[in-house]
């Protein structure tokens, strides 16, 4: 995939084309959701006001100011949305991107994995040069899975902040606890604390909206039902689950989005528990790309909440796995509707 495409595609995914702050429906029982909307509206106005004023980072410093000019100089330069999966963090992050008054080529939106892939494609200095002219960088699903990513992203964000780029990120982990359970985070505490210093944290509480008020996850389809859906749905793919997992091992995760572009549905037979953590993490990335594109997943075999073993669900990547289960279950619901049409 050409590096130019990686940059041009750093926009909210199709599922979030039409989202705005006004389309976010806060849970009345969770005031932190309404508070996050207002805080992000203010943040967007500060970035937009900076653009109209033709200034550097002044608008951002005013928004984050705590205790005068000296505090403003060291104030966080971004906002960090922390909360469980399914509380609408990506919706709000995409809404911030849409609301910020800057041309699309001056604001970027991508997952943490896509950002690290961009550095791999362009090189560090070229990435700084490319993103350094942006008004806003939105990073979805911020995670640190290895020490190399910690040092890389810490250095990148520091350079971008120095050039006046506003930052916004979502994650299921507080910035000061990134990396816990994955590697010896204590050995990289300085880098992790440096990342945390770039952000003001907004905690968003709530239940997974994808299952709020909905019935339990649908039972898996039969293999014959999956085959019927595959043959009558335009643009549908049809694979056995083990074959899909084997193919993912031969494709770089940065290309998973291109892999499913243009599909009408992803039909799977023989779904079962994933065999190891490397396979599981590749499946998490695919689940995100399927969810971004709103692709129904008619599937037979085991239900998606049985994909990851207990050891995985209790380990350092558990939040990734729960997010994948949540998203795949939602897509399986759409797949079941296709089968019933």
In this predicted structure, what is the pLDDT of residue 144?
64
In this predicted structure, what is the pLDDT of residue 208?
59
Residue 314 burial by Cβ neighbours in a 10 Å radius (0-12, 13-18, 19+): exposed
Q: Which residue has the tokens 């299952």?
A: 211
Per CATH, the homologous superfamily of domain 3-204 is P-loop containing nucleotide triphosphate hydrolases (3.40.50.300)
CB neighbour list of residue 296: distance below 8 Å, 6 or more residues apart: 265, 266, 331, 334, 335, 337, 338
In this predicted structure, what is the pLDDT of residue 50?
62
> What is the side-by-side order of every strand in the sheet holding 265-271?
236-240, 265-271, 299-301
In this predicted structure, what is the pLDDT of residue 179?
42
In this predicted structure, what is the pLDDT of residue 245?
97
Contact of 284 with 248, CB cutoff 8 Å: no
Per-residue pLDDT of the chain (341 residues; tens, 9 = 90+): 566 677 778 999 888 999 999 999 998 989 999 999 999 999 999 887 765 555 544 444 444 333 333 333 444 578 888 887 678 899 999 999 999 999 998 999 998 878 887 888 888 999 999 899 899 999 998 776 556 677 788 889 889 988 999 999 887 654 445 444 433 444 434 554 566 777 788 888 877 565 554 446 678 999 999 999 999 999 999 999 999 999 999 998 878 888 999 999 999 999 999 999 999 999 999 999 999 899 999 999 999 989 999 999 888 788 788 889 988 999 999 999 999 87
C-alpha–C-alpha distance, residues 300 and 152, integer Å: 41
pTM (whole model) above 0.75: no
C-alpha–C-alpha distance, residues 206 and 86, integer Å: 8
Q: H helices of 54-111, where?
A: 58-64, 69-73, 89-99
Q: What angle do CA 201, 128, 160 make, to 5 degrees?
A: 30
In this predicted structure, what is the pLDDT of residue 65?
37
Instruction: Report the 10 Å Cβ neighbour count for 160.
Output: 21
Q: What is the DSSP letter of 274?
A: -
């Amino acid at each position: 995939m050409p590096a130019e495409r990686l940059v041009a595609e750093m926009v909210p995914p199709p599922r979030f084309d039409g989202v705005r702050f006004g389309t976010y429906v806060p849970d009345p029982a969770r005031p932190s959701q309404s508070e996050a909307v207002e805080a992000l509206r203010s943040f967007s106005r500060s970035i937009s006001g900076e653009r109209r004023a033709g200034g550097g980072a002044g608008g951002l410093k005013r928004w984050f100011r705590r205790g005068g000019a000296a505090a403003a100089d060291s104030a966080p330069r971004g906002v960090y949305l922390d909360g469980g999966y399914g509380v609408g963090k990506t919706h709000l992050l995409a809404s911030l991107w849409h609301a910020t008054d800057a041309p699309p080529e001056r604001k970027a939106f991508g997952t943490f994995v896509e950002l690290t892939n961009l550095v791999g494609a362009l090189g560090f200095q070229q990435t700084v040069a490319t993103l350094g002219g942006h008004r806003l960088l939105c990073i979805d699903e911020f995670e640190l899975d290895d020490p190399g990513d910690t040092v890389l992203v810490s250095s990148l964000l520091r350079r971008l902040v120095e050039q006046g780029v506003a930052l916004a990120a979502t994650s299921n982990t507080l910035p000061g606890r990134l990396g816990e359970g994955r590697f010896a985070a204590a050995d990289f505490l300085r880098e992790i604390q440096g990342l945390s210093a770039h952000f003001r944290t907004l905690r968003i509480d709530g239940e997974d909206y994808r299952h709020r008020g909905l019935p339990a996850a649908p039972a898996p389809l039969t293999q014959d039902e999956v085959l019927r859906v595959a043959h009558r749905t335009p643009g549908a793919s049809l694979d056995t689950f083990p074959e899909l997992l084997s193919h993912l091992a031969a494709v770089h995760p940065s290309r998973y989005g291109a892999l499913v572009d243009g599909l009408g549905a992803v039909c799977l037979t023989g779904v079962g528990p994933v065999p190891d953590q490397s396979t599981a993490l590749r499946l998490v990335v695919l689940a995100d790309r399927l969810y971004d594109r709103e692709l129904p997943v008619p599937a037979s075999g085991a239900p998606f909440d049985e994909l990851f073993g207990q050891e995985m669900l209790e380990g350092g990547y558990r939040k990734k796995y729960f997010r994948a289960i949540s998203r795949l279950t939602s897509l399986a619901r759409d797949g079941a509707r296709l089968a019933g049409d």
